[in-house]
Amino acid sequence: MRTPNYDKFPYVPVPNGEHGCVEGWVNIANRLRKVISQRAANKIVLVVECYIGVDETSVLHELQSRLEPALTLHAADSLHAPTAIDELVKPFLGDDDPVFGFLCGLTLPQFFNAKKLEQFRAQVEIVTHGLVLIVGCGASLVAEADILVYTDLARWEGQLRYRRNEASNLGVKNQTLAASLQYKRAFFVDWRVCDRWKRPLIAKWDFVLDTNNPHEPKLAEGEAVRRGLRHAVTRPFRVVPFFDPAPWGGQWMKEVCDLDRGAKNYGWCFDCVPEENSLLLGFGDLRLELPSLDLVFDQPRALLGEAVHARFGDEFPIRFDFLDTMGGGNLSFQIHPLTEYIQQNFGMHYTQDESYYLLDARPGASVYLGLKDGLNPADMVRDLKRSQTCAAPFPTEKYANQFPAKKHDHFLIPAGTVHCSGAESMVLEISATPYIFTFKMWDWNRLGLDGKPRPIHLEHGIANIQWDRTTSWTQRNLVNCFQPVAGGDGWREERTGLHECEFIETRRHWFTKTVPHDTGGGVNVINLVEGEEALVESPTGAFEPFVIHYAETFIIPAAVGLYTLRPHGVTNGRQCATVKAYVRT
């Protein structure tokens, strides 16, 4: 096993940012007090907007006790009653489905009581001298800010707070609700609403408050944060990966990514999912944590490129993650929805096409992919339904192809194709971003981490099966479809996919010397799949050389243009390989 050098806390340094951030509530209060004193006004309105999941009560208490405002208001006190908010969001959550809803088009003002807001505004008007402090999600609805602080929170941290019963959904008190149901509500409602509210505020931030770690709060100047975001799209960068156990989880990542050896397993690693990963900005020795989406919202064209932005807007369409079944079990037998199905049933405008790239595999590893020639669809549907009643296990091998899998194999999985990674595999999953839309059809009669059966969506799954994707078609179109593309001194390039009906293109480069690359006006996402270390460089010196390590995923913004990769450090002179993904245009 290799010596771990995987960087779990990558960051983007903020140019001239050494003094742009402070840590601790005392220093935060002092910094705010200083800027308040510099305002030549008798009355100052300090608005502290909060993303969903932020502990607003704690933030309010810490600032109120130190700044001693003439008036303090908690924006949450002007929300509609929880019962009214439940009714507002109900159409987007459905009735009984524990996983799926419909992406909402609601806006934050719809959650607020107009009469209560007017009462709050009247209280603000009465104050003629001193500080008015307004805290909470939607605080800007109460009064226009003289000083705007935005308290952001990474979605991953928000999920952890749901699991710890520390947070509620927008406008309600439901800490004791199952974390999975809180996540569902956040995914389909809260995050959509709060992101719509946040986007136009980014340009107005005077300060950004980071309470992802409540014991180490940090406050950064808004312009310094925006400077950091602008800098990020001029160079390669990585988001902060996070790791999670799974019922099928394995042991490979513990060693390669240097994780807790005492944990039962790690099944997932999300290393490029800007919807949920964090971005760390470096202010000297301090690290400010932001949702990666803030970069997508603030710099969409420079990050994605004009053509990708025109197609997807300010959404990051490519996702890289790990699925570790080394010493674990099979993933669920599953399928992803067709585009029209996800649009009509869930409100998403594109679907989860994907692929499995084998970072590693042990003897006996396999991937279930596509249907067997000559099967009877009615028989398969019957057996799938019987398996849900525990009458008999689903005979997966009877209906699905099981292909042997070895290191560096690549299996393509367009939506509508049945599939499942088997045990003893280490998969780099390359896919489109809407990853929640997986229909499990068979889960091997096992329980989830909570001791309960995981949700099965058989009707959704059956409705999307493409019955003509059988053995011969699958072998020809989806298994190791490698094609030589180009080469040069010490390098060669191969096309590895994806399928023609998927919008993502993947290329693999093998190299012992410098390889030329070009973003081609679109964002590139890359993983070092072979070799200990490589160096990303600008041929014109436009950015500082960027070191990447084995299994790390990194992003090359569209605006970078030309760049090179070469072996580095202990790998110098040895063969390396990368897999690159980009959107076909």
Same domain assignment for residues 179 and 323: no
Question: Is there a single domain that holds both residue 265 and residue 408?
Answer: yes
Answer yes or no: do 265 and 204 share one domain.
no
Q: What is the pLDDT of residue 585?
A: 85
Amino acid at 306: E
Residue 457 near residue 342 (C-beta atoms within 8 A):
no
The domain in which residue 369 lies consists of 252-476
CATH number reported for the structural domain that contains residue 76 in this entry: 3.40.50.300
Q: CA 439 to CA 568: how far, in whole Å?
A: 42
Looking at the structure, tell me whether residues 457 and 491 fall in a common domain.
no
Q: What does the pLDDT look like over 515-566, one tens digit per residue?
A: 999 999 999 999 999 999 999 999 999 999 999 999 999 999 999 999 999 9
Paired sense of beta strands 425-432 and 318-324, if any: antiparallel
Distance of CA 396 to the CA centre of its chain: 31
Cα first-last separation, the chain: 40
Structure tokens at 385: 């339904």
What pLDDT score was predicted for residue 248? 97
Residue 534 and residue 548 in contact, taking contact as beta carbons nearer than 8 Å: yes
Q: At what angle do helices 56-67 and 25-38 cross, to 10 degrees?
A: 60
pLDDT value of residue 296 = 98
Q: Has residue 240 been placed in a domain?
A: no
Of 201, 232, 263, which residue sits at a domain end? Answer: 232
In a domain, residue 103? The reply is yes
Question: In angstroms, rounded to a whole number, what is the distance separating the alpha carbons of residues 308 and 318?
Answer: 11
Q: CA-based Rg of the chain, rounded to a whole angstrom?
A: 25
Residues 25 and 130 in one domain: yes
CA distance linking residue 508 with residue 580, whole number of Å: 6
What CATH number corresponds to the domain at position 259?
A: 2.60.120.10
Q: Are 131 and 39 in contact (CB under 8 A)?
A: no
Average pLDDT taken over every residue of the chain? 96
Say which range, 273-277, 307-311, 466-470, has the weakest mean pLDDT: 273-277
Nearest to 311 by CA among 349, 353, 338, 355: 349
Span 122-159, pLDDT tens digits: 999 999 999 999 999 999 999 999 999 999 999 999 99
Residue 1 pLDDT more than 70? no
Task: Give per-residue pLDDT as tens, 392-423.
Answer: 899 999 999 999 999 999 999 999 999 999 99
Is the residue at 309 inside a domain?
yes
Residue 490 scores a pLDDT above 70? yes
Residues 345 and 196 in one domain: no
Q: Where are the alpha helices (DSSP H) in 109-201?
A: 114-126, 155-163, 179-185, 191-198
Residue 6 has what pLDDT?
96
Q: What is the pLDDT of residues 340-380, one digit of tens each?
A: 999 999 999 999 999 999 999 999 999 999 999 999 999 99
Domain count within the chain: 3
Q: How far apart are CA 441 and CA 396, in angstroms?
A: 10
The pLDDT score that the predictor gives to residue 95 is 79
Tokens (6 digits) for 192: 């959509």
Q: What is the DSSP letter of 471?
A: H
Q: Average pLDDT in the 468-497 region?
A: 96
Q: Is the dihedral of CA 520, 524, 528, 529 positive or negative?
A: negative
Are 341 and 397 members of one domain?
yes
Distance CA 358, CA 363 (A): 13
DSSP 21-33: EEESHHHHHHHHH
